[in-house]
Amino acid sequence: MIKRVEHVGIMVSNMDESIKFYETLLGSKVRIRVNNGQKELVFLTHEGSLGFEIELIRDLQPTTKYSGHGLVNHLAFVVDDIDRVIAYYKQNGVNFLTSEPKEGINGRKTIRFKGPNGEVLQLVEERKNMDS
């Protein structure tokens, strides 16, 4: 069911400082930077960790409670068929944080749930090729 670990989300207070740290000291590169009005997101790649990214997250509005989930906000896993995995997980007692998957960056479907210690986990279905 799980194909691979995709990314880890880390809360930051100063995005530019954090980007500089990850680029200068850890050799990461910015793949995409997005501001959706509630939070600023930056996905960092590293040539030594192909297929895995670090997502830096900065809350922009005090009403956003994204940072309330901790410094390391979530761990994301790529799946082939998010609806099938959701059904399987529900049969095994998993309660999701939303009733339906949300559309994420680049048309991906995402949904979150909590692990046994309250850690936030995310399933990500990559955008299906529109030509098939």
- pTM score, whole prediction: 0.69
Q: How confident is the model at residue 132 (pLDDT cuts 50, 70, 90)?
A: very low
* 74-112 pLDDT tens trace: 888 889 999 999 999 999 999 999 999 999 878 899 999
Laid out side by side, the sheet with 53-59 consists of 29-35, 39-45, 53-59, 2-11, 72-79, 120-125, 109-114, 102-103
More confident residue, 129 or 101: 101
Residue 29's DSSP bridge partners are: 45
pLDDT in tens, 10-68: 888 889 999 998 998 888 999 999 998 889 999 999 998 899 999 999 888 866 566 66
pLDDT at 94: 92
Dihedral (Cα; 90, 94, 96, 100), 10-degree rounding: -10
Q: 127 falls in which pLDDT band (50, 70, 90)?
A: confident
pLDDT value at residue 64: 58
Start-to-end C-alpha separation, the chain: 22
Catalogue all structural domains in the chain, each as residue range(s) with its CATH number: 2-125 (3.10.180.10)
pLDDT at 129 over 60: yes
Average pLDDT over residues 68-72: 69
